Amino acid sequence: MLYTIYEAQRTLMEPFADLAQATAKIYSNTLNPFSHTQLAHRISAGYELLHRLYKDYEKPEFGIRTVPVEGVEVAIHERIEVEKPFCELRRFKRFTDDPTTLTRLKEQPAVLVVAPLSGHYATLLRETVRTMLGGHKVYITDWKNARTVPLAEGDFHLDDYVNYVQEFIRHLQARYGNCHVMSVCQPTVPVLAAVSLMASRGETTPLSMTMMGGPIDARRSPTAVNDLAMEHSYQWFENNVIYRVPDKFPGAGRLVYPGFLQHTGFIAMNPDRHATSHYDYFKNLVKGDDASAEAHRKFYDEYNAVLDMDAHYYLETIRTVFQDFSLVNGTWDVRSPEGELERVRPQDIRGTALLTVEGELDDISGSGQTQAAHDLCTGIAPAQRQHLEVKGAGHYGIFSGRRWREVVYPQVRDFIRAHDQQPKSAEKSPRGKNLLPAAA
């Protein structure tokens, strides 16, 4: 019922948001004889702010058109390589007419970036992808808004997430011989599960795993996010944050954790900071600081664009990761696509190097939560494991912004290069399939 009420209110406010935008343009139009006055600037800025507060934010695009590779501008073509009911495996294919650069592009390692399914779209990692494209073939998991997935496609579970990751890894292995995996925030847990299961079956595993700011062991240095999940029961979440998608969407009737509730939670974590940011936006509009105003728009176009998550996946993540701590307790069983339950055993991983990254000031995944992966992956030789704590970085700072570009990325790049040796021969899995054909 709450979802229906919210959508009705949003639909009712949409014309007023459009009207506010039009009014802002009228007062700032140079043909308006009063547009140069301070009063007109303030009125225009006020209406522009109202428009931003009430407008509907749709999924942004990645918008990566070119990237520099060793001083040469390389064109980017974005395309979907694997289509799943709840996710698209998106590739950023690079093109150049320079023969030397083309040869280098072909030699660079392939990386699967597993984006979080925790409220925002994969475009939150736009800067991560753009930076990685300078030295890697990049693929990313682009998760779909659950309200756009018809009920006929079935439910989406945490097990499905793990199985999707394995399928995407095999896709890259089939194309390139092998690949590297990078997970940011929430997916560190299902990615570790996916690679563990592949190792237990005797499949070829990725050459390296880079895990950044994720809740491998949420008991360590618990944050406000962890406390919320641990202090409330499974039934509390089921009864208070799960609603059915209204009739107007393709996924009508699907049980979801709605994006608008998640967004409310994001804002509630730092309400003063957001209020100050919007007031600063108003002041920048008044004084004509277009650069600062545009930076505000770009940030909130991303931050305010949220998606619904299938209720089964969300509730299972709460229980498995934040309440039962099934991964670190060694009690997590994942159901395969064939319907078999398989125990997650990180200690079985041997041929995959491990890099963990944490921000010193991370208020989402606390200190030590990601580093806990080293305690679980005992089969990986110490020389193949590395941990990086980024001084002065918060959660977003480890994959976006100056610290990502200047501190984190160089170490991620060097770690991947150091472990990019392809195995000499393919291995057979228990299913009788050659999972590692020669690179194309």
Question: Does 137 share its domain with 159?
Answer: yes
Q: How far is CA 403 from CA 157, 362, 411, in A?
A: 34, 13, 11
Residue 401 pLDDT greater than 60, yes or no: yes
Helix, strand, coil percentages (3-state) for the chain, rounded to 5, are 45, 20, 35
Residue 438 pLDDT greater than 50, yes or no: no
Question: Does 153 share its domain with 202?
Answer: yes
For residue 279, being part of any structural domain is answered with yes
Residue 430 pLDDT greater than 90, yes or no: no
Question: Does 128 share its domain with 36?
Answer: no
Question: Does 89 share its domain with 37?
Answer: no
For residue 249, being part of any structural domain is answered with no
Question: Residues 161-174: what's their mean pLDDT?
Answer: 98
For residue 422, the model assigns a pLDDT of 64
Whole domain around residue 19: which residue ranges?
A: 2-56+272-303
For residue 423, being part of any structural domain is answered with no
Query: Tell me, what CATH number does 317's domain have?
Result: 3.40.50.1820
Q: Is the dihedral of CA 291, 296, 302, 305 positive or negative?
A: negative
Question: Does 99 share its domain with 173?
Answer: yes
Helices (H), 145-258: 158-176, 188-201, 224-231, 234-240
Mean of all residue pLDDT scores within the chain: 92
* pLDDT tier at 70, thresholds 50, 70, 90: confident
Q: How far is CA 432 from CA 128, 178, 282, 287, 427, in A?
A: 37, 18, 63, 68, 10
For residue 265, being part of any structural domain is answered with no
For residue 435, being part of any structural domain is answered with no
Number of structural domains, the chain? Answer: 2
Distance CA 65, CA 218 (A): 38
Question: Residues 268-293: what's their mean pLDDT?
Answer: 92
Q: Which of 130, 178, 45 is nearest to 400 (CA)?
A: 130
Q: What is the pLDDT of residues 199-226, one digit of tens each?
A: 999 999 999 999 999 999 999 999 988 8
Which are the contacts of 228, defined by CB distance < 8 A and separation ≥ 6? none
120 phi, psi to nearest 5 deg: -95, 165
Q: What is the pLDDT of residues 321-356, one digit of tens each?
A: 999 999 999 999 999 999 999 999 999 999 999 999
For residue 247, being part of any structural domain is answered with no
Question: Does 219 share its domain with 344?
Answer: yes
For residue 85, being part of any structural domain is answered with yes
For residue 97, being part of any structural domain is answered with yes
Model's pTM, two decimal places? 0.90
Question: Residues 272-298: what's their mean pLDDT?
Answer: 94
Q: What is the pLDDT of residues 6-25, one digit of tens each?
A: 889 888 999 999 999 999 99
* pLDDT tier at 147, thresholds 50, 70, 90: very high
